[in-house]
Chains A and B, each alone.
Chain A
Amino acid sequence: MQSCLRNGTQLGRRRAVLATTAIPSSSRSITINPLGWVREKLAPGMAEKQSSKEVESAKQLARQEGTGSVFESLPQAVVQKTKEAKVAKEKPTSHKYSTANFKISHRKLNMLANQITGKPIDYAILQMQFSEKRASSRIMNMLATAKDHAIRYKKLDPSRLASFENTAIVRTVELGGSVVHVTTTYAVRALENNAKVYTVALSKHDRELTSHVEVRLKGQDKALQFKESADRDYSLFDVTLPKTLSANKTLNIVFENIQTHATKPWPEIAEQGGDQALKYTTDLFVLSPYSTLVQRTKVRSLSPRIISYTEPKGVEVFTGDAAATKSGANVVYGPYKDVPVTTSDFIGQYQQPVTVHYHHDQPVLEVRKLRRAVEVSHWGANINTQDDITLHNAGPKLKGHFSRLEHQMQAYMKQSAPHVLPALTLGLPPGIRDVYYYDTIGNVSTSKLRVAPLPPKGAQRSQFSILELRPRYPLLGGWNYSFTLGWDAPLESAVSYDKKTGIYTLAVPIMTPIPGAVVNEEELQIILPEGATDVNFVTPFPGLSAVQDTHVTFLDTVGRPSITLQYKDLTIKHAQDIYVTYKVSTLAHIKKALAVATALFLLFALGGIARRVDLSISPKKKVQ
């Protein structure tokens, strides 16, 4: 600083070092203008603005003397203080800070800057601490102050101040009909000790399509805990690692999410014997708050007939040769090297949607509405499950009219078109009896059931009963079919009893898994026996709503407690059990028989009264 003043404005090259950590703020820099200083000291004193106190006292004095101005005494218009709508301040996501100007060669400074650009803050501080360059100590102090200010004043989360680096990201997209399975594997390297929380980012478009998220370490089954926070353009998932990671240790984190309604049929109409083609769109780059050394996206379809895929543009910086390659049923986007932190600038410049147009050989199934009612009976030791299903074929709509003749010929030749659904196979629980299947017209007899035997209690339920349903008519693209499917099962398979506490525990499967189909809306009603008290339930994942009310059915006096849960966008991964606990006292159990007994007794009493009522017209003559 002293050297500047002595030598004047232009001598020596001053460089101010600016540091930016991933999210917002103002820059501060001190400028010295010696001419101004000189002018200030030597020029005649300028009139200084008086403080409001001095003004007030002067006005008061003038008023006392009688020399006050007209404007002081006239009534002034009252200004209504309008309440301004509170504008929600956006939470800052980055903080900028810079050093003062100091003299250094631009080449020497750039060398240091390239060393730490895009790196996490702690890594950068560490590098500058042990660097031999003259500017490194100044830069280190600046970085440390910036980090401190960011945490202290901007309230940035210290655990998220990028302490990881992605060595590789591989995203595999498995294309299906209505369900798309996206698995992203992050090979992560910790850059500082005690790294505990890793953040995964999903774009808003992807998050809206996602219905199930699971995070685990590669090779392990146990799911990791994560906390989600949604921003304007993306969602962040803070995953808690099972063990803290020390510096330079690597880890593989698998992030699985299932997307529903992500594909659409293209062309949107198809003939009865025509092909079915779907389009899937996703973003080219995987978002991440950490920098990535190499990333790759692999899009896989079930059949190798891929019609087209978009070639990414403007990404030559990241890739040497082709940005996208197709081999068999796979389209690989990448590998893209040295992808920096995906900030909004990066997204604006490089991120682009890529679309894959592919043939799909199975019908795209959607269950528009599923209504499942599960009724528990303690008297009959029976649990009845009834599904009201509305099936919809979400493939290309039928062009022209449906020809039964053509359909029969196709069935005969065993060459059914990919978007026609003639039959459906469902996996029902084992040990069921009295299965019924009817629709709005009546009973449907075109079905075949093979019941699996009930395994002993506690054994893993491995076998399913197979039910092959053949709807009244084959489902073409855009067609709907509603039907009711129900069955009874022995209560021993679903309820367990704790003698000490008297609590019954009931396991209710949320849905029947239909492979490759998505359930748009589900309403699950669990009806417990009459007189059940202390009703509690746990769900494997949260639903839309849960309501407890009363359901009245045969031989009920006050009604049975029932729990109604609503869900949406369920896939085969959601086919888990809900556990309900409740108590039924023996008296409450017997109450049903006593209610019927009371009704019968009333009948007998009426009979007794009827006996004693004389309805003869003339009095009976007594025989003498």
Chain B
Amino acid sequence: MDYDATRALHSSLPAFQPLIPVQILPFLALVLLAATFGLAFYSSTLPKSTFPAKELAVASTASILGGFGVVALFCTAGVYV
């Protein structure tokens, strides 16, 4: 790779755009974590059955929302992961 060519390329290309805008990350963190907490609580109140299909479904949604929420929380706190 040529140094001067790369430098010209770098200055001419558009800037980086994050997937999720950084300004809404704190609100996103709050919303997602609240939803995670709610769904986790709900899954704990579900009746016990032999095959816990509903429990697992609720738990998996809660964990996915929680995953994104935790990453957003980290970024809000200043630990840019």
A residues at B contact (CB < 8 Å): 375, 377-382, 384, 434, 457-458, 488, 491-499, 504-505, 507, 536, 538-540, 553-555, 577, 579, 581, 586, 589, 592-601, 603-605, 607-608, 611-612
Contact = CB atoms under 8 A, between A and B. Distances in A.
Nearest to B44: A607
A491 B64 CA distance: 26
Contact of A611 (B6, B16, B48, B56): B48
Interface of B: 1-3, 6-7, 9-20, 22, 25, 36, 40, 43-44, 48, 52, 55-56, 59-60, 62-64, 66-68, 70-71, 74-75, 78-81
B44 A595 contact: no
Contacts of B78: 434, 488
A538 B15 CA distance: 20
A505 B59 contact: no
21 contacts: A378-B18, A380-B18, A380-B22, A380-B74, A380-B80, A382-B80, A457-B14, A492-B15, A495-B16, A497-B17, A504-B16, A538-B3, A538-B6, A553-B81, A555-B74, A586-B19, A599-B63, A601-B59, A605-B59, A608-B43, A608-B55
Interface of B is mostly: helix
Given A538-B1, A601-B60, A497 B16 contact: yes
Contacts of A380: 18, 22, 25, 74-75, 80-81
Nearest to B2: A538
B58 to A, nearest CB: 9
Contacts of B2: 538
Interface of A is mostly: mixed
Contact of A592 (B10, B55, B60, B71): B71
Contacts of B55: 608
Contact of B59 (A381, A499, A579, A604): A604
A381 B22 contact: yes
Given A379-B75, A538-B1, 5 more contacts: A491-B16, A495-B15, A496-B13, A498-B9, A592-B71
Given A384-B80, A589-B19, A600 B7 contact: no
Given A586-B19, A594-B67, A600-B67, A497 B14 contact: yes
- Counting chain A CB atoms within 10 Å of each CB, the highest count among B12, B36, B71 belongs to B71
A554 B15 contact: no
B11 A458 contact: yes
A381 B63 contact: no
B32 to A, nearest CB: 10
B18 to A, nearest CB: 4
A360 to B, nearest CB: 35
Contacts of A592: 71, 81
Contact of A497 (B13, B63, B67): B13
Contacts of A491: 16, 18
A554 B74 contact: yes
B35 to A, nearest CB: 12
Contacts of A536: 1
A597 B66 contact: yes
B47 to A, nearest CB: 10
Nearest to A540: B3
